[in-house]
Amino acid sequence: MNLLKTAQKILLLITLCLAPTYISAGNVLNLSEGVNLIAANGKEVNSDSFFNSATSYPLPNGLNQILVNYTAEIKNGSDHEIENTNAFVLLFKSNNSEITLTAPSIKKLSDINKFEDKKNWILIENNGAKINFKASTIKKVGFQLSRNYESEIEDFNQSNAAAALPKKDIFNSAQLKKESSENTNNNNSKAKENMPAQMLIFWYNQADEATRKSFKELINNQ
């Protein structure tokens, strides 16, 4: 059995899974654990796929407006419950940067209330430099089976909220939305191409040692 050949094939599969799903100029937004990107520049992000676990998204240079929330695991007695914050609109400028969005630690419901009040997201470049941003919340009013975030953002930008697009920049929002849509479509297309490899690695990691051995033998015999 050529173990080196098998290892090379498995490494190739892993590389396919981990390879960036975009090649474009501009910014790269990285999301820390628990941070969810709902929309970027007026365009809702397609997140209805079970296999969509993207944590990096391309953004154009210049002014960007994103809609995000945070998912926290809250301890309730001996159990843990999943809680989502309200949606936040963040407005910031960045050029040709790799940036990371994170949030302070949230362990209890009171932490969520403080977070939504302070809006103390952390947005930094790879070199550790902080990026100035404006933040506002879009709260869910009453029971809603689904939400039209794109429509909500359009209405939001007509307001005087801190993170609303400046009136002089609203006319550019259509172009930003188009660019975000194109980037998202490219991202989703690449993700679909990589899905077989993702599934293969996923099931390999779930298997016991005997099954993994059979898996390696199967690949080596191809």
Find out whether 65 and 163 touch, Cβ atoms under 8 Å: yes
pLDDT of residue 9: 52
What is the band of 48 on the pLDDT scale with cuts at 50, 70, 90? very low
What is the band of 178 on the pLDDT scale with cuts at 50, 70, 90? low
- What share of the chain has pLDDT > 70, as a percent? 60
pLDDT of residue 80: 79
Query: Which of 73-87, 92-106, 187-201 shows the lowest mean pLDDT across its residues?
Result: 187-201
- What phi and psi values does residue 109 have, to the nearest 5 degrees? -60, -35
**Residue span of the structural domain in which 92 resides:** 3-220
Residue among 29, 175, 22 nearest 94 (CA): 29
Mean per-residue pLDDT, 72-98: 89
What is the band of 74 on the pLDDT scale with cuts at 50, 70, 90? confident
Q: Is the pLDDT of residue 45 over 80?
A: yes
Quote the mean pLDDT of the chain: 77
pLDDT of residue 203: 61
Q: Is the pLDDT of residue 55 over 60?
A: yes
pLDDT in tens, 134-156: 999 998 766 566 789 999 999 99
**Pairing relationship of beta strands 35-40 and 62-76 according to DSSP bridges:** antiparallel
User: Looking at the 3D structure of the chain, how many domains does it have?
Assistant: 1
Q: Is the pLDDT of residue 51 over 70?
A: no
- What phi and psi values does residue 5 have, to the nearest 5 degrees? -65, -40
Query: Which of 98-112, 181-195, 201-215 shows the lowest mean pLDDT across its residues?
Result: 181-195
- What phi and psi values does residue 30 have, to the nearest 5 degrees? -100, 135
